[in-house]
């Protein structure tokens, strides 16, 4: 689960902006009376109580963090890159290293396939996020038994590793972040073990029964990650959970070969995951003293839904309390409208990506979507071609929509590249009207 980042303001247009404002108004009313955890500032979890932006007189308790990369092998580069990046954000936020616990197999930084030995990056041209990361539970020590022992603060149950545990108290705040592969009701660990949803929930219940935290945030990056909490997380645990996908869909990698922006040619792996880099890049961009969990969720949800290379996933949230029924109905309706708009945009975006790749190949197709002519040159040399290609697309795929107008430059680039109406007719028909 690519808990901040690249601007996505260009995605918030017209009708969607209205829906977001409507949704925000409803959420604000709910937060005031029903779900204080959603109005919590992110600094409460990602920065220390005496960190660079936190007023030490405003918050009580110690901040703890548990970071887990559940895979191994160079082909899964992105999961350890996600976790290392998360550590750097926490470190910058002032969390003490003794309060940050890291699980990762630690086999990619010096893998023979890594073009930069000892360096891990989470984005093209990004900084080395591997530097200084604690090696608390690596190799065979990155096990489920040790993970559950760490969560429960049970040092006697550990079978190796640094010995660090979440030795938290009733006023403390805990942040847990997990990134790896998942399937219905399970997520993986590096040594071919599976964490089942009911086991995870039972451990969280025990942590709650021990009065070992005041609040907890859990960000989970994995396919079908919603199934780890959906219908399982009790309202009494005071846990805010966010997942990269719902209970039935994949989550997606990003910064992959052939993606835009391009990864360095030496890398033949994906450098991050959409949901994960979304929350982390957002955290790096915004003032965490003012941004709330709910605000971050909205930003991450939109980017995760729209910006993956194939299609998007639906970021989910699972929170402590349910709103009053009237507000709940209004919010559900607003969310339906928002989801419908996002799905419509995803459909247009995916169609344009596929059509561009079909007409010009993967790399040239990406260039068609993003190329901007130098100043002084017109958008297109043949305006009749532009109009005809748009008309042909709409004949097969329906209205381009207001949002789809953003791809007008792509149609112009197709004309400038010499793509003919017959080619567009074939590509659009194959995409939108397959036989």
Q: Give the tens place of pLDDT for each residue, 354-400.
A: 999 999 998 888 899 999 888 888 889 999 999 999 999 999 999 88
Do 378 and 311 share a structural domain?
no
> Are the beta carbons of 29 and 40 closer than 8 angstroms?
no
Do 264 and 135 share a structural domain?
yes
Q: In Å, what is the CA distance from 135 to each residue of 24, 161, 163, 285, 393?
A: 41, 8, 11, 27, 53
Instruction: Report the distance separating Cα 124 and Cα 60, nearest Å.
Output: 38
Question: Which pLDDT belongs to residue 40?
Answer: 60
Bridge partners for 216 per DSSP: 174, 239
Question: Which pLDDT belongs to residue 147?
Answer: 98
Of 323, 357, 386, which closes a domain?
Answer: 323
Catalytic residue among 11, 85, 223, 385: 223
Q: What integer is the mean pLDDT of 63-79?
A: 97
Q: For the chain, what is the domain count? A: 2
| Cα distance between the two ends of the chain | 36
Q: Is the residue at 4 inside a domain?
A: no
Do 216 and 175 share a structural domain?
yes
Structural domain including 418 reads 349-432
Instruction: Report the distance separating Cα 341 and Cα 335, nearest Å.
Output: 10
- Catalytic residue list contains 181: yes
Tell me: the pLDDT tens digits for 5-28?
A: 333 333 333 333 333 333 433 333
User: Which DSSP category does 373 fall into?
Assistant: P
Check residues 399 and 335 and name the one with the higher pLDDT: 399
Q: How confident is the model at residue 31 (pLDDT cuts 50, 70, 90)?
A: very low
Question: Which pLDDT belongs to residue 1?
Answer: 38
Check residues 346 and 14 and name the one with the higher pLDDT: 346
Instruction: State both tokens at 27.
Output: 């959420």
Catalytic residue among 11, 181, 314, 396: 181
3-state secondary structure 278-306: HHHHHHHHCCCCCCEHHHHHHHHHHHHHH
Do 263 and 388 share a structural domain?
no
Do 226 and 160 share a structural domain?
yes
Most confident of 133-142, 279-288, 351-360: 133-142
Q: Is the residue at 173 inside a domain?
A: yes
Tell me: the pLDDT tens digits for 44-53?
A: 556 555 554 4
Nearest partner of 342 among 23, 4, 3, 50, judged by Cα: 23
Burial class from Cβ neighbours inside 10 Å (0-12, 13-18, 19+) for residue 210 reads middle
Question: Which pLDDT belongs to residue 326?
Answer: 46
Instruction: State both tokens at 263.
Output: 């990864």
User: For the chain, what percentages of helix, strand and coil (3-state, to nearest 5) are there?
Assistant: 45, 10, 40
Q: In Å, what is the CA distance from 112 to each residue of 77, 108, 324, 413?
A: 13, 8, 56, 40
Do 111 and 219 share a structural domain?
yes
Of 278, 307, 323, which closes a domain?
Answer: 323
Instruction: Report the distance separating Cα 317 and Cα 297, nearest Å.
Output: 8
Dihedral (CA of 313, 306, 120, 286) sign: negative
Of 289, 323, 357, which closes a domain?
Answer: 323
Q: Is the residue at 1 inside a domain?
A: no
Residue that has been written with the tokens 């990269």 in this structure: 244
Do 313 and 362 share a structural domain?
no
Question: Which pLDDT belongs to residue 338?
Answer: 73
Do 171 and 314 share a structural domain?
yes
Q: Is the residue at 344 inside a domain?
A: no
* Angle, CA of 265, 121 and 314, to the nearest 5°: 95
> For the domain that residue 382 is a member of, what is the CATH number?
1.10.132.130
Q: What integer is the mean pLDDT of 29-36?
A: 31
Do 285 and 405 share a structural domain?
no
The secondary structure element, H or E, covering residue 101 is strand 100-103
Q: How confident is the model at residue 172 (pLDDT cuts 50, 70, 90)?
A: very high
The secondary structure element, H or E, covering residue 421 is helix 421-432
Do 370 and 318 share a structural domain?
no
Q: What integer is the mean pLDDT of 149-162?
A: 98
Question: Which pLDDT belongs to residue 20?
Answer: 36
Q: What integer is the mean pLDDT of 146-158?
A: 98
Do 131 and 223 share a structural domain?
yes
Question: Which pLDDT belongs to residue 168?
Answer: 97
> For the domain that residue 153 is a member of, what is the CATH number?
3.40.50.1460
- The model's pTM is 0.66
Distance, CA of 20 to chain centre: 19
Q: Is the residue at 3 inside a domain?
A: no
Instruction: State both tokens at 373.
Output: 């002519």
> Are the beta carbons of 421 and 382 closer than 8 angstroms?
no
Nearest partner of 248 among 312, 158, 189, 184, judged by Cα: 184
Do 367 and 293 share a structural domain?
no
| Residue 146: other Cβ atoms inside 10 A | 23
Q: What integer is the mean pLDDT of 173-178?
A: 97
Q: What integer is the mean pLDDT of 128-139?
A: 98
């Amino acid at each position: 689960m690519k808990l901040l980042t690249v601007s996505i303001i260009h995605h918030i247009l017209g009708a969607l902006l209205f829906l977001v404002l409507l949704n925000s108004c409803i959420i604000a009313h709910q937060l005031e009376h029903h779900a204080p955890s959603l109005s919590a500032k992110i600094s409460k979890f990602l920065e220390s109580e005496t960190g660079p932006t936190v007023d030490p007189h405003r918050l009580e308790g110690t901040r703890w963090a548990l970071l887990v990369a559940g895979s191994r092998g160079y082909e899964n580069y992105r999961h350890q890159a996600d976790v290392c990046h998360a550590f750097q954000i926490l470190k910058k936020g002032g969390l003490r290293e003794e309060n940050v616990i890291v699980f990762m197999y630690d086999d990619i930084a010096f893998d023979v396939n890594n073009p930069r030995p000892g360096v891990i990056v989470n984005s093209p041209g990004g900084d080395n996020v591997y530097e200084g990361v604690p090696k608390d539970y690596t190799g065979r020590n990155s096990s489920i038994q040790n993970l559950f022992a760490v969560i429960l603060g049970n040092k006697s149950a550990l079978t190796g590793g640094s010995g660090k545990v979440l030795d938290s108290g009733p006023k403390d705040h805990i942040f847990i972040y997990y990134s790896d592969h998942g399937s219905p009701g399970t997520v993986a660990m590096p040594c071919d073990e599976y964490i089942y949803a009911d086991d995870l929930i039972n451990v969280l219940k025990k942590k709650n029964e021990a009065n070992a935290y005041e609040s907890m945030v859990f960000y989970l990056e994995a396919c079908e990650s919603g199934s780890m909490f959906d219908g399982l997380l009790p309202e009494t645990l005071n846990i805010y959970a966010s997942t990269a996908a719902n209970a039935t869909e994949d989550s997606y990698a990003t910064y992959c070969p052939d993606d835009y922006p391009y990864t360095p040619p030496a890398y033949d792996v994906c450098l991050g995951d959409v949901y994960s880099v979304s929350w982390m890049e957002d955290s790096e961009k915004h003032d965490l003293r003012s941004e709330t969990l709910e605000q971050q969720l909205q930003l991450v949800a939109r980017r995760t839904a729209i910006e993956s290379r194939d299609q998007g996933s639906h970021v989910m949230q699972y929170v402590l309390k349910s709103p009053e029924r009237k507000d709940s109905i209004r919010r559900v309706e607003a969310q339906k409208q928002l989801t419908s708009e996002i799905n419509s945009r995803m459909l247009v975006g995916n169609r344009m990506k596929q059509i561009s790749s079909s007409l010009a190949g993967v790399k040239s197709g990406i260039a068609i979507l993003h190329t901007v002519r130098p100043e002084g040159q017109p958008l297109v040399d043949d305006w009749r071609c532009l109009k005809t290609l748009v008309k042909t697309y709409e004949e097969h795929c329906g209205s381009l929509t207001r949002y789809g107008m953003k791809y007008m430059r792509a149609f112009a680039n197709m004309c400038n590249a010499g793509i003919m109406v017959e080619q567009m007719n074939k590509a659009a028909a194959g995409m939108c009207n397959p036989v």
